Amino acid sequence: MKGGHLIVFSAPSGSGKTTIVKHLLDQEDLNLDFSVSATSRKPRKDEEHGKNYYFISLNEFKKHIKGGDFLEWEEVYRDNFYGTLNSEIERIWKLGKNVIFDIDVVGGLRIKKKYPDRTLAVFVKPPSVDELKIRLKKRKTESDEKIDMRIAKASIEMATAPQFDAIIENNDLKTALSEAHDLVKDFISKKKEPF
């Protein structure tokens, strides 16, 4: 299959990967477009269908799984499915762009396994689990119970970091943004792929 590169950014929730991905999307020299994931969860306030996620029903999500329509998918929490539709990757490649993902660690590693030569998988490491909890509470988007679930999951996710191509420690945002840009630029320039 012809197309561009796949740039995966994964991290525990609250590590800063979304901020890094948004920054990279603004860098014209990287020729990136964002892969919008599908999810069975309800939108949070200010989230838009087709921009933040493709919000689909649980039944519709399961139909897509049975149809083999996903590059990767996972039940992240009970009845909360997330996944990447193959059609989303094809859409971006048709634009002549490289795909960038803001995705959980399991999904990121699945993409790397499926396309090992054309994927750069980057793990964004938070300063600490305590800092992660502070960041999640500041969002004010989830209950304490949900935050505790995310923190418990973060410890497991941190253990997967060595499986990624690169690890960026997000202690200082400016440094993390610069490192991320250099990593992606280097990968794209060394891995020329025909569209």
Angle of helix 173-190 relative to helix 17-25, nearest 10 degrees, comes to 50
- The sheet with strand 70-77 has its strands ordered as 53-55, 37-39, 80-85, 70-77
What's the CATH fold of domain 6-190? Rossmann fold (3.40.50)
Question: DSSP secondary structure string, 48-104?
Answer: -BTTTEEE--HHHHHHHHHTT-EEEEEEEETTEEEEEEHHHHHHHHHTT-EEEEEE-
Which of 19, 153, 148, 5 has its CA nearest to residue 76? 153
pTM of the model: 0.85
Which of 135, 139, 133, 172 has its CA nearest to residue 153? 133
Query: Each residue's pLDDT tens digit in the chain (195 positions)?
Result: 467 899 999 998 778 899 999 999 999 999 999 999 999 999 988 999 999 899 999 999 999 999 999 999 999 778 999 999 999 999 999 999 999 999 989 899 999 999 999 999 999 998 777 777 777 777 777 788 887 877 877 888 888 999 999 999 998 999 999 999 999 999 999 866 544
Give residue limits of the domains in the chain: 6-190
